[in-house]
Each structure stands twice: as C-alpha cells, then as structure tokens.
C-alpha cells in the first residue's frame, strides 16, 4: 500500500494537512515509476517512425491512449492529448464554433463555469459570436429546462461542466445531453474535477466532447486530453495549434511522452479503485461536515449536498473573512476559491451566482483525497473552528463600545 496516497485511520497527521485536492493532487508514485524511462531509455519522438527509438516512444503513447480511452469508454481515435483541461476547453469550444460558423454562431454555458470556459466565451463574443450564460438554481445546478429553453436554431454548442471546481456540485449532464441531442446541438463537458471519483463514461453521459486533466487525478501536471466523438455525430474541430498535424491533425506539437504515459497509468489506477475511493472520501467528507457543524451550528454549506463530488465541501461562517482565515491557518492547506482564479479578484463569482447567496466574505473549499485520513479530518476541523472562534468579536467589547 502506498502510504503517501492511501487513506489511513490513525496516527498524528503530518503538517500541513493537505485538503486542497481540487487545486491539484499528489502524483502517485506508480505514475512516476512508469514515467521515469521516458526521460532516458525511451527518448525518441513518437512522430519519428523511421527508427526504433521513435517507434518505442510511439508504442508507449498509444498504450497510454488506450488506458485513457478505457476509462472514458471511448475509442482510442477519439482521444486527443493536450497540455491540460484548459487547452482541452479551448480546443473544444473554439474548435467547434469555428468549424460550424456557417451553420450558427450561438453557444450556451453557465455563469458558474471554470474560467477556462468563461474566458473563451468572452473572447468569442469579441469576435461576433453569441453566448447565453445560464443562471443556476439555489443548489448550484443547471436545470435541463433552462438549457432547453435557451436553445435556438443557430445554437451549435452547449458547454457545461460535470462537477464544479469550487462547490463540487454536479450538473445533470445526461439529461441535458438528451435535450441537446434532440435539437442536434453538440455538448461539451469539462470533467477535470470528476475523473478520479466519478464515472466519466462519455456514452453513458451522452456528451460529444469531454475535457480531462492528469494532475487532478494523481497524474503529472502539464498533460490532459480531449475526447472528441467520431460517430453519431462525427464532431469536427478547427485546430487551434498549427505546425505538423499531430494528434490526427487536431493538435499539433510534439507529444509530451512522459506526461502522456503518466496520465495513462493514472487512469489505469483510477479504474481499479474509483468506487472505493469515492466511498471513503464521502465518508470522510461527511465526518468533516459533522465536526464543523457540531462546533458551529451557523455554518453554511454552499451547493447541493446530494448532487456533489464525494470529496468536496464548501462552507462559510457568517461574519468571518474566509480568505484571511485560510491564510492564517498554516497547519491546514485549504483554499478560499479556485486555484485558477486571478489574485485580487473581487470574491467568488461562483458563490455570487448562487441565488440568495450571502458570501461577501468568501468560503472555505475543502478537497479531500486518496491519502486523507480520519485523523487529518478531525485535526483540520479543530484548527478551522479554533481560528473562527479567534476571529469572532468579543461580545463584551462590543457591549462596551455601544455604551461608551
């Protein structure tokens, strides 16, 4: 058993306790092990098929492609390797919109999407495309009826994430896919946060494009993939990187062989343990919530608890500046928002999009992982509650100020 990554139940936790797995996950040592030969023994360029070093590298890449395809339930020719989910989102959205511009120039997304989607939509709007930003319900989910009502004759793409990166809420993607399919509209899904703990079978979900990332799933940083459906319908993309026609002409550039091989191994590991991981992390997440609520009954949970990633918890404490709290509790590594949001931004746009949300002072995002233990959860709850108590105004001081 890998002691660095597999959950334990007892003992004193090592500090800082890492509960920010939505930002990134530690690379599994088994993943590192399969990558190492790619830095020395297997050094060829997989596009060089005239000699054995290139063929050896190509064999490793295609083996990894099979591992990713197996986890997504698709064909190997439908997997395009990229530098990560951000590039995959860009390729999916820009690639579809540009290739179908003569048919329509309208796309639909949600106000709570990742910046890798929202910023792409903003750029497309500057180029004359139309974008509809759907509001979410009070629980943070997009209602399929809202999607159906927003579809137009000129709509060619809907882009909605499977799981939100801040509040962990799951959209009803399979139902939304039915709405899109009935109208002949393509559906792109950013599943970066979901790959390690949820079933991301593209056919079961009914999506036409799906973005995934290795470093959110115990693989290396700097590599990801885009699933692109090739049958019923055959999705066509306008390439965003030119210069050699790699990846079937959909993404030029020398393939990141070590990263791709590591990603493949990470997917193979997930396939054998995803359900067990999800079950354990849900148990620990609920334990964390119980302890926080026991200490503070006024704690507020953001987003649906029923339709949520098993390892996510996003909470706020009335009157407490979450950002300041997170910075001060050095013994627990958590965040007050998405890692990809620019510093200095004015609060979480995800929380602000929730109807009735009162999150002016932000929230704390907990992201549990494979190696999270009960001891770590209990320790984190105690540290956070102590910090919250230290930030509360002294009622005696307030009373004095009111009478002086």
Q: State the Cα angle at 313 between 312 and 317, rounded to 5°.
A: 160
**What does the buried/exposed string (b/e) look like for 290-324 if buried means 16 or more CB atoms within 10 Å of the residue's CB?**
ebbeebbeebebbbbeeebbbbbbbbbbeebbbbe
Please give the distance of CA 278 from its chain centroid, rounded to a whole number.
Answer: 15
Going across the sheet that includes 224-228, the strands are 79-82, 224-228, 209-213, 186-190, 155-159, 106-110, 130-134
Q: How many CB atoms lie within 10 A of CB 117?
A: 25
Interhelix angle for 374-391 vs 257-295, to 10°? 60
Distances (CA, A) of 366 to 12, 88, 159: 20, 25, 26
Phi, psi at residue 189, to the nearest 5°?
-130, 125
C-alpha atoms less than 13 angstroms from C-alpha of 350 in its C-beta half-sphere: 29
Q: CA separation (Å) from 29 to 139, 215, 267, 294?
A: 37, 13, 14, 37
- Given the structure tokens 């500046």, which residue do they identify? 321
- Calpha distance 84→259 (Å, rounded): 10
Q: Are 81 and 223 in contact (CB under 8 A)?
A: yes
Please indicate whether residue 27 is annotated as part of the active site.
no
Closest by Cα among 60, 241, 57 to 68: 60
215 half-sphere exposure, CB direction, 13 A CA radius: 14
- In angstroms and rounded to an integer, the radius of gyration of the C-alpha atoms of the chain is 22
Which residue is associated with the tokens 């200095």?
344
Helix, strand, coil fractions of the chain, as percent rounded to 5:
40, 15, 45
Q: For residue 364, give the 3-state DSSP assignment.
A: strand
Task: Please provide residue 307's backbone torsions phi and psi, each rounded to the nearest 5 degrees.
Answer: -105, 85
Catalytic residue selected from 38, 74, 121, 340: 340
The token duo for 146 is 């809202």
The CA-CA-CA angle for residues 218, 219, 221, to 5°, reads 120
Instruction: Give the catalytic positions in this structure.
Output: 340
């Amino acid at each position: 058993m890998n002691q660095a990554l597999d959950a334990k139940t007892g003992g004193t936790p090592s500090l800082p306790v890492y509960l920010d797995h939505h930002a990134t996950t530690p690379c599994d040592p088994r993943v590192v092990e399969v990558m190492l030969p790619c830095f020395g023994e297997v050094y060829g360029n997989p596009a060089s098929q005239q000699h054995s070093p290139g063929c050896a590298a190509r064999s490793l890449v295609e083996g990894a492609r099979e591992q990713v395809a197996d986890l997504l339930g698709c064909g190997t020719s439908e997997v395009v390797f990229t530098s990560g989910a951000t590039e995959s989102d860009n390729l999916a959205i820009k690639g579809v919109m540009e290739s179908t511009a003569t048919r329509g120039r309208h796309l639909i997304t949600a106000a709570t999407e990742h910046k890798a989607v929202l910023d792409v939509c903003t750029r497309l709007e500057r180029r004359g495309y139309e974008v509809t930003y759907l509001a979410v319900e009070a629980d943070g989910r997009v209602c399929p009826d809202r999607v159906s009502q927003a579809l137009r004759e000129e709509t060619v793409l809907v882009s909605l994430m499977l799981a939100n990166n801040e509040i962990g809420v799951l959209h009803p993607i399979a139902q939304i896919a039915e709405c899109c399919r009935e109208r002949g509209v393509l559906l792109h899904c950013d599943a970066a946060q979901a790959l390690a703990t949820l079933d991301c079978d593209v056919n079961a979900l009914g999506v036409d494009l799906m973005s995934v990332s290795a470093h959110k799933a115990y693989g290396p940083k700097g590599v990801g993939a885009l699933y692109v459906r090739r049958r019923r319908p055959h999705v066509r993309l306008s390439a965003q990187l030119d210069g050699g026609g790699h990846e079937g002409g959909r993404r030029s550039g020398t393939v990141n062989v070590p990263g791709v091989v590591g990603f493949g191994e990470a997917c193979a590991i997930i396939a054998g343990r995803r359900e067990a991981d999800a079950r354990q992390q849900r148990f620990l997440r609920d334990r964390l919530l119980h302890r926080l609520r026991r200490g503070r009954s006024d704690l507020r949970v953001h987003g649906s608890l029923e339709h949520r990633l098993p390892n996510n918890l996003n909470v706020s404490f009335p009157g407490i500046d979450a950002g300041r709290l997170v910075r001060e509790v050095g013994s627990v590594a958590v965040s007050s928002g998405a890692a990809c949001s620019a510093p200095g931004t004015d609060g979480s746009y995800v929380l602000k999009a929730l109807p009735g949300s009162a999150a002016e002072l932000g929230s704390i995002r907990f992201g549990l992982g494979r190696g999270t233990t009960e001891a770590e959860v209990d320790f984190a709850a105690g540290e956070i509650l102590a910090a919250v108590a230290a930030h509360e105004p002294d009622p005696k001081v307030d009373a004095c100020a009111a009478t002086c």
